[in-house]
Amino acid sequence: MAVSVTWVELDGKQVEVPAGQTLIELLRSRGAVDPQAPDPVVMASINGRRTDLYEPLFHQDQVRLYRLRERRTAPTIQRTVSFILDAACEQLFPGCELRMEFSYGRGVYCRLLGLKEGLNTAEIEAIEQRMRDLVAADLPITPHVFGLRTLISKARARGKPAETNLAQYLRRDSLKLYRLQGTDHLFYGRQLPSTGFVRAFRLVPEPPGFIMQVGPAGAPEKLLDSVRQPKLLHTMRTYADWLVSLELQDIGHLNRVIVQGKVQELVQLCEARHGRVFVDAANQVVALPEDGRLVLVAGPSSSGKTTFAKRLSIQLRVLGYAPFALSLDDYFVDREKTPKSPDGDYDYESLEAIRLDLFNQHLKALLAGEPVHLPAYDFHTGTSRLREEPTVLGRGQPLIVEGIHALNPRLSRSVARRHKLLAYVSALCHMNVDNTSYIRTSRTRLFRRIVRDAQFRGYTASATLARWPKVRAGEERHIFPFQNEADIFFNSGLAYELSVLKLWAEPRLAAVGIDDPNYGTARSLIDLLATLLPIDASVVPPTSLLREFIGGSSFNY
């Protein structure tokens, strides 16, 4: 019987293949899938959608191959190392369960549940060695589609409540999971073809857990030094413990709350937790010396800095103070003096784009009660002018400055540290798919930005996705190096917000066309949102930080 053939486009070249042949079979016949190769093919996109190498090929499919050292493979590499870690923990500590909790120390903070005490150094080293054994064995990692009834049965038999909840509330009849052959272990999310493709990883003790580190995007064989940030770690662990106390540690548990009709109570709990932070922060502002109170608020894109500053101002007014907000945007240098990035664009995120000398001169004068003619920057002309009316602050009147450089000591070098309260704001909400299927905390901010850009700035989801890598690079340069300087770490994440943002983000992402270079990212985000049940925005209070992004806020922005 003759085998039917078809034509596909493979990295821009027409290739004849047997109809229905998997991509990995085609690549193996060409010697392109070899874990020992310096830069092997590890994943692909078919018709714009990223996938593993086990997808069958059909007529006129357009295939783009991704190699191990490409930046876009980094999440898949990390997910595979997570899979190997989970399998190693199950083998060495049967009856215990791995929980991957949040980004930290250039890796992911993990704990092993079911132990009376945290893991000691020798036990962590044993887990790492078992992982290396699994990598050396080059075990295949293959996708399998399970019906939900079968999946729920398997999860219950293995004592995995998070997997059970995830499957139970999915609005589809099947789910693709990956099996690590030789361990009969299952994992959610796209994987490398086998364990042998993993290049570098390590486990760093961080009692009572540890940090799992892999190579950075584009350099999977390289490990960077771990960066300890005790204030951030405390904030993240406190929030993780709070979620567990509410039984909200993953998407499956969140979906259960929605199904049970407890959304209003959940919203009230999350908003009350935010409210407590503003009360504490206002008291810390008042505790600053009366002869100068400067509040500096920083955080990455779409973290909610503006709402933080507004709600802090309200709380200060409750205490009898009238804070004054100073805008960093008004201190931009004239456009022709703005530094440029390597691609030739104006780099408004550079600290050198700000008139630092003038800003520090004004800070010192304002806190001393002297009159100051503040600048006003005109974004149309790219120039600034001084306002005619002077600004004078009363003694002890708080001055609030919000911007990406607020934690950089150079920004406010004219003011003594004892007069400053530094606040770091970020959406540190880590709502994972299940205990081991880790979602980067920056994903929440990306969903927020997609929605806000569409609502208030007229940008498509594609435009936002195209800009996002540059935004993230700017955060790495200008914000994250200074976050441990903060006196206050405000987790602006809300446990329920992804279920609200889902209804706003999905149609925007669905509008990204199949020929758009951002289509693959858009489809990945849609797949993530598909695991969530929706929450109607009507339950979100008008003072909620989330309203900064979806609209309907009682604050003016």
Mean pLDDT value of segment 6-31:
87
Question: Rounded to an integer, what distance in angstroms lies between the CA atom of residue 272 and that of residue 306?
Answer: 19
Cα of 68 vs its chain's centroid, Å: 22
CA 466 to chain centre: 16
Burial of 191 from C-beta contacts in 10 A (0-12 / 13-18 / 19+): buried
Predicted confidence (pLDDT) per residue in 370-411, tens digit: 999 999 999 889 999 999 999 999 999 999 999 889 999 999
Q: Under a CB-based contact definition with an 8 Å cutoff, are residues 154 and 146 in contact?
A: yes
Give the whole-number percent of the chain exceeding pLDDT 70. Answer: 99
Q: Cα–Cα distance between 7 and 112 in angstroms, integer? A: 49
Through-space distance between the first and last CA atoms of the chain, rounded to whole angstroms = 69
Domain 5-67 annotated CATH 3.10.20.30: yes
Adjacency order of strands within the sheet including 324-327:
324-327, 399-402, 294-298, 420-426, 488-491
Q: What is the mean pLDDT of residues 500-515?
A: 96
Beta strand 375-378 with 488-491 is unpaired
pLDDT tens column, 105-156? 889 999 999 988 889 999 999 999 999 999 999 999 999 988 888 888 877 8
Domain boundaries, the chain: 5-67, 74-228, 243-323+398-550
134: closest CA among 181, 100, 93, 186? Answer: 181
Tell me the C-alpha distance between 242 and 240, whole Å: 5
The alpha-helical segments, DSSP class H, found in 298-441 are: 305-318, 356-367
Compute the mean pLDDT over every residue in the chain, rounded to the nearest whole number. Answer: 92
Tell me the mean pLDDT in the region 63-76. 94
Listed as own residue / partner, the contacts of 253-256 with beta carbons closer than 8 Å and 24 or more positions apart are 253/162, 253/165, 254/431, 254/495, 254/496, 254/499, 254/532, 254/533, 255/165, 255/166, 255/168, 255/169, 255/532, 255/533, 256/165, 256/168, 256/169
Return the minimum-mean-pLDDT range out of 155-164, 172-181, 408-417: 155-164
The dihedral built from the CA positions of residue 359, 372, 367 and 314, taken in this order, carries a sign that is negative
For residue 120, what is the DSSP state?
A: P
Q: Which of 46, 22, 48 is nearest to 143 (CA)?
A: 22
List pLDDT tens digits, range 186-210. 888 899 999 999 999 999 999 999 9
Q: How far apart are CA 218 and CA 199, in angstroms?
A: 12
Among the listed residues 127, 58, 49, the one whose alpha carbon sits nearest the alpha carbon of residue 87: 127
Is residue 273 within 8 A of residue 235, CB to CB? The reply is no
pLDDT higher than threshold 50 for residue 437: yes
The token pair at 164 is 């059970």
Going by C-alpha positions, the residue among 372, 356, 371, 368 that lies closest to residue 412 is: 356
Match domain 74-228 to its CATH number in 3.30.980.10, 3.40.50.150, 3.90.1150.10, 3.40.50.300.
3.30.980.10
- State the Cα–Cα distance between residues 551 and 557, nearest whole angstrom: 10
Confidence of residue 2 (pLDDT cuts 50, 70, 90): very low
Query: Which pLDDT score is estimated for 156?
Result: 81
Contact 425, 235 (CB under 8 A): no
- Phi, psi (rounded to 5 degrees) for 376: -130, 120
CB atoms within 10 A of CB 219: 14
For residues 442 and 429, give the distance between their C-alpha atoms in angstroms, rounded to a whole number: 9
What pLDDT is stored for residue 272 in this prediction? Answer: 97
Q: Which pLDDT score, from 0 to 100, does residue 22 have?
A: 92
Tokens of 192: 């490398």
| pLDDT-derived band at 7, boundaries 50, 70, 90 | confident
| Strand-by-strand arrangement of the 62-67 sheet | 13-18, 5-10, 62-67, 41-46, 49-51
